Each structure stands twice: as C-alpha cells, then as structure tokens.
Structure 1
Amino acid sequence: MRFLTGGYTADMGGEAAGIGMLHAGSADTAYVDGALGFGGDVIAADSPSWLAAHPTRDVIYAALEKTGAVQAYARTGESTLVPLGAAVPAGAATCHVAVAPDGGSLLAACWGDGSVVRMTLDAEGRPTDPRRAPAASDPYDAEPDVDAIRAQVLGATAEEAGEVPTARPSRAHQSRYLPDGTVVTTDLGLDLVRVWRPVDGRLRAHQQVALPRGSGPRHTVWHPSGHLYVVTEFSREVFVLAPDATGAWRVLGGVPLGGLAGDTGAEIALGRDASFVYLGLRGSDTMAVLRVRGGGDALDPVALVETGVVWPRNHVVVRDTLLVEGARSHEVVSFTLDPRTGVPGRIRHRATVPSPTHLLPVR
C-alpha cells in the first residue's frame, strides 16, 4: 500500500523537501503488514503539513502551513504530482484541510489566526472563492480576571502589577464533515468544538460546545454509533460528544489519557472495527489505547504503550496494523494490533522519513 507523506520543510525547521511517498508492504494490496520503505520525494512544497484527497478525482490538497495557503495537485501517475493552479491563501498557519464528501468544497483550518475558510472546488478540483466563516467567541471571556482584580485591590493597575489582561487567541485546528452533512471544527485556543450547517455555499454557525478551560481540543474522530470523540492537546483527555433529541450537542463525558506532565495530545484514530481508539501523546511519546463501551458513549483506558519514535504527531490504523510517524526522529514505524485487546505489539518495521507530519493512504 502507498501513503503520501506530508512534512515540515526548512521554512518550519524541518528536513522534508515536500510531499513524499511511503511504501508499506506490497504496493498493490490493502495490507500494510510488510516492510516499510520511503520512496523519496513526489513533489517539492513548503511545509505541506496536512494532506487530503478528492473523493472522485485524482487530486490531492495540501495545507501549506507556513505559507498559510491550500495547494491542489493533480496525480499524473502512481507517484507523481503536478500543481493544479496556484496556491489559494487561507489564513495564518493553515494546518488542516478537509474535503467535502460530494467533492464540491473544502475547509481549511488555520491555527495562527483561528480562521475556518471554505473554498469551492471547480469541475477539475481546483479550489476557488475562499470565504472565511464567522469567528469564534470565547465562552470563558466573562470570567473575572483574578490577576486584574488583585492588582486593583493592591492599589495598582494591572499593567503596573505586571499582568496585562489579554484576549485568548482563537486557534482553529481541524474540520470534519459528518454523515448527516453537519460540519464540526475544533478551536484549540478557545476550548471549543464548533458545529456548523452548510447553507448556500457558506457555513452557518449552529452551536459552540465548550470543553474545560485550557483543555485545548485538537482533533476529532466520528464513531459509527453517532458519537464524536475529541482529543485535547493540553489536558491530555478524550471527550465524548453527541447531539440530543433536540439536535443540541452535549459533552457526555471525558477520560484522561495518562502520560507525563508536559505531554501534549496529538492524533486520534479508530481501530478496524471501531472497538478501540488510539491517541498519541507527544513528550512521553506513547500511544493510549481505549476500548469503546456501551453504545459508543463511554471509553475505558486499556493501555499506554511506547511508540518507539520521537514526537508521534500523526498515526493511522489500516486493518490490523498501526502506523505511527515520529516527526522529530524522522521515521515511520508499524505495529500489529492484537484483535482481542487492541494493544500494539512490538515494532515490526521502521523506515526513515524526513520530518513527517501526516500519512495519507492512496491507491
């Protein structure tokens, strides 16, 4: 099986040259339990940190993080890409791109300025007409500023006391299209999961769901039971969300992932039959394994295992194999998953890949 690899290039302190190609086992099968091998660079690009594929056309989209833009590429062969038009500006630190299931649009999430940007895709798959969705509002901005109050009580202004109250920055980090057409996005800076309804070519804000202050919701995965699982970067937890009978979204519960103080949560992925959830922790460089319970509304910790890489930023599950990339150790490793416990075994294969940030399966 083949994977396109996104990565950080020199403009973000990385060693990648652009989009690369990873081979896992035989290129002509859907299994990835064989040897890993980096096939080299497919095309040069500036920090294509996240990749997405068009659902029906041979087009790949890259979030050019440092540039703050989305670039489309046409696949001209099994391991060749050519630019499809010019890069389209999105916003500061564009870190994620998601393509609508009907192939008519895409969403770019911008970590630097909090923008969620919708782009129309033309008949060839080129992104056009970028439109910024309404900005998020901080659900905690009404809380009293303890430092400012303390400064006033002491007879000094907040600035004189060395504490200047500032607004928290919005940090959009991921977008996801749900089966019913709803769109959810995460805002790592404002601790929000935002729910949207696409209307007449625009995103209409439907609801903001607040997670605990300082938790930092990063990425999501949709469970077939109808629940959304959200991993948080700062508090190292996973939260379960779902709409109630009225359509209003609610937080049903949360589970700590463990790890070490100072760890940051990264990626979240479901196992093959959606019975297990896998979550990466950067710092301790471990993988948390959770079992899905009940009707999908509960998660139980199973194990916390070493990944054998440094800074596991992204991982994917393909059948009974877990692939984990180490962004700072410049490698991708594979594990076989125990079908009964869901726990990864020993590392089976390893390949050197420069500064990898994302793995995208391709045919």
Structure 2
Amino acid sequence: MTDPAHRLPTRRMVGGGALALLATGTAHAAPRREQIVYVGTQATDAGQGIVAARLDARTGTLTPIDVVAEIARPTWVLAHPKRPALYAVSETGNDGKTEGKVYALRADAETGALTTISTVNSGGGGPTHLGLADGGLLVANYGTGHVAALPIRADDGLEAAASVQANQGSGPSPRQKGPHAHGVALDPSGQFVLAADLGADRLFVHPYNRAARRLGPASEQSAALPPGTGPRHLVFHPKGRFVFLISELIPQVRTYGWDAKTGRLTLAHTTPVLSEVPKASGAEIAISRDGRFVYASLRVENVIVVFAVDPRTGALTVIQRVASGGQTPWSFGIDQTGRWLLAANQGSNTVTVLARDPADGRLAPTDQSLAVGKPTSLAFLAAR
C-alpha cells in the first residue's frame, strides 16, 4: 500500500473540560472531497455529547469541528445513507427502571451542525445499537433486552415505537443474568431482523413487516450459541448469502449461511480471534462493500483483525492483525471511499485513522489522531 505520506499533528482535541478544542471560530463549508465524521461517546457531562470532525478523503487528514449535539451517553450514532439525517441513542436506563431515548437529528453537510428533529423513547432500557430498516429504525436495548422498531417520518423524524419484542434467555457469565440485545440488523431482503443477544447467547430472527414497520416475535429459526459466548454485533454479506457474527465474551467470528426465503441460519464456520492476551474481548465487525474482507476489533489486545472472505463458503482467513492506534477499540468505521478505517479507541480517548488498501484489504497506521472523550461509535455523512 502507498503510504499517505502526510506529516501532520498527531493529536487534535475536541470537546469540553479536559478535552479543550484546538480549532476555534466558525466552521467553514466542507469542500466536496471531505466527509463529516460523527463520533458517538459515553459522555455524560454538560457541554459534551456527539463530536464532529472532517475527514479529507484524499489524504486521511482528520480535522476537529466541535461538540455538535449535547446528548447524554450518545454511544451509538448512525447516518442515513441517502438523507442528511443522523440517528443517535441516549444510552440511559441500563438499570431497567426507565427507557432510553433515540434522537433524530438534521445534519448540515457543509458545517457538520446538528439540529434535533424529534426525540422518542427507545422501547426499552439502555439502547446500545441501531439499524436501518425500510422506513424504520431498529433499536437494540441492552439494559432490558428489548428490540424495537421505530417508524421514520417523511421529515426524517421518528415516531413512537410501532412494535417492541422482549426476548428471553441467560448464560453462565455474571453479565448474562438476563437478555441483553447488543446488535441489530435488517437482512438484505427486508423481511427479517436479526438481533444479537449477549445475555441469552442467541442470534434471534424476527420477521419484519415493511408496510407496517413492525417486528414479529422471534422465530424458531433463531440460532443458539455455546453458553458464555456473548454475541455482540453482526453484518450481512453484500450478496445476502452469509451473516458474520462477532462474540464478545469468547472472541470468535461465526459465519452463518442465510436463507432469505425461510429466515433460516446455518452455522458454516467458527473462526477464533483470541490471541495470547488474557481477557481480550470482541467488539466491532464490518465488511467491505465488495464483500471480500471482514474486519473485527479486539479490546485489551487493541487490534483490528483483517479476514479474507471465501466467496463460495464464507470461510474467513486471517491476513493481518494491526494495532488500532489506541486502547480499547470499541468500534470502528470504514469511510465511504473505502480508503480509510477510523477506530474509536474508548480507553485512550482517541479516534485514529488507518489507511486501507481496497485491493488487498490491508491496513496501515497514519499519524492522524483526534482526542475525543470515551469515543464508542462512528458515522459518516454522505460525501460532498
């Protein structure tokens, strides 16, 4: 891979309190080569929340903007792929006593500014992950284990939950005393929603009614994992034949065959990603747009693992383990050009940029790093 060969400051800081903003003044319009990057965080203090930055898609330069939405614990952010809208959880209610919130925000592609369109209850406690459905938004509520479907209005705002499903289950870990929905995704056919439940050790399959934007109860096709595995997040292969699931408590990536006609999962491969580092935990998983490479992050070891995908069987082969550039890579995202992978390193309060070679899938470190308090997720606004 060609080295981006930029020599820029290695730390740029945004946010309030200890994270003093180095870039001041009014934000300028973003040139077309730039993307707006939104960073979800675990911030709870006043003046903090979702942070925005600019990514130069040609060089990988990451430039801070500021805190653009003051929301308590906006741990997961999701950009609409076609509309200037951002959706964010407020991960509250993990004690099971109250519901969390989900925000619909209008995004200014020039300045990165966010304005609230609507705020609704998440359908459970501790919302931790979001997924887009046809005309709706899917919510995984970790605290209570509920999975919810929220209709999206014509103005990109959210309506109250059209349906909420309560799954059941537990496991041997102290973190598995009950269900904990951790990741949610709509299958490419638009007929089913899959929910990875860390507490129940199951990958639940829910039918999805696109017209009513409602979820049905989990079907018998739901897949059980070995006790104590702790499934976390999942992605579908672009062609819809495979599902890739990362587990947290026992770091593994499972490849399932997917039958969109029946909603049936068939386990095809289990790929361990645990290294010699004790207590490493699986965190995030993503797939390249061409479906040739899968990426997974490991906390404690603080690496991104790169896999090549067998297009025939879905089997994964490790081709690289590269440092995430910080500590505790909670999540990461691949930009819209496919040339850059940004890692949200929650433990070191940094977002780092890794260069990605689209041809061979490999990653390389850069000197780009943005200081953000407890970053946990990333979303990219449509490139201008």
State the TM bucket, normalised to the shorter chain. 0.7 to 0.9
Give percent identity, aligned residues only.
29
Q: Deviations over 1:285-328 (max 9, x none)?
A: 11111111141421112222222201101111231222112112
Amino acid at match of 2:274: G
> 1:298 aligned to 291, 311, 315, which one?
315
The offset of 1:110, in angstroms, is 0.6
Q: Displacement of 1:220 after TM fit?
A: 0.8
Tell me the equivalent position of 1:98.
Answer: 131
Cα distance, 1:86 vs structure 2: 3.4
- 1:93-136: CA deviation from partner (whole Å, max 9, x where unpaired): 11112222x3x221111111101011122222222232453322
- Aligned-partner Cα distance in 2 for 1:75–1:261: 41
CA 1:32 to 1:351, structure 2 compared with 1: closer, same or farther past 3 Å?
Answer: farther
2:63 to 14, 22, 37: 37
Question: How many corresponding residue pairs?
Answer: 330
Q: Specify the SS of the correspondent of 1:129.
A: coil
Q: 8 Å contact 1:59–1:75 — kept in the other structure?
A: yes
Answering whether residue 225 of structure 2 is matched by residue 211 of structure 1, we say yes
Which residue matches 1:3?
Answer: 37
How far is the alpha carbon of 1:10 from its aligned partner? 2.6
Give the whole-Å Cα distance in 1 for the aligned partners of 2:179 and 2:333.
27
Query: Which runs of 5 or more residues in structure 1 are unaligned?
Result: 26-30, 146-164
Gaps of 5+ in 2: 1-34, 94-99
Q: Which has the higher contact order (CA 8 A, sep 6+)?
A: 2
2:77 to 38, 42, 51: 51
Matches of residues 1-363 of structure 1 in structure 2 within 5 Å? 1-10=35-44, 17-25=48-56, 31=57, 33-66=59-92, 68-76=100-108, 78=110, 79-100=112-133, 102=134, 104-138=135-169, 168-181=177-190, 182-199=192-209, 200-204=212-216, 205-206=218-219, 207-225=221-239, 226-244=241-259, 247-259=263-275, 260-318=277-335, 319-339=338-358, 341-363=360-382
Once the 2 structures are TM-superposed, how far is the Cα of residue 250 of structure 1 from its aligned partner? 1.3
Residues 162-196 of structure 1 show CA distances to partners (whole Å, capped at 9, x for unaligned) of: xxx99831000111112101211110111111112
- The 10-residue stretch of structure 1 (262-271 or 240-249) with the greater mean CA deviation from structure 2: 240-249
TM-score scaled by structure 1?
0.83
State the Cα RMSD in Å: 2.5
Question: 1:197–1:263: structure 2 CA closer, same or farther, 3 Å change rule?
Answer: same
TM-score (norm 2): 0.79
Deviation (angstroms), 1:76: 4.8
Q: CA deviation at 1:81?
A: 1.4
1:336 and 1:348 in contact (8 A); partners too: no
Compute the displacement of 1:354 (Å): 2.3
Conserved 8 A contact 2:103-2:120: yes
Aligned to 1:157: none
Q: Deviation per CA, 1:234-267, whole angstroms, max 9, x where unpaired?
A: 1100001123585521111110012322011111
Change (3 A) 1:20 1:47: same
Give distance in 2, aligned partners of 1:45 and 1:77: 20
Partners of 1:69 and 1:94 within 8 A in 2: yes
For 1:9-60, what per-residue CA distance to the aligned partner results, in whole angstroms no more than 9, with x for missing partners? 136xxx98111112111xxxxx263311221111211111111234544322
Query: What does the per-residue CA deviation read over 1:59-106, in whole Å, with 9 as the maximum and x for residues that have no partner?
Result: 221110025111112235632112113342432111112222x3x221
Change (3 A) 1:274 1:353: same
Query: Which amino acid is the alignment partner of residue 84 of structure 1?
Result: I
Higher strand share: 1
SS of 2:143's equivalent? coil
CA contact (8 A) 2:130 2:140 kept: yes
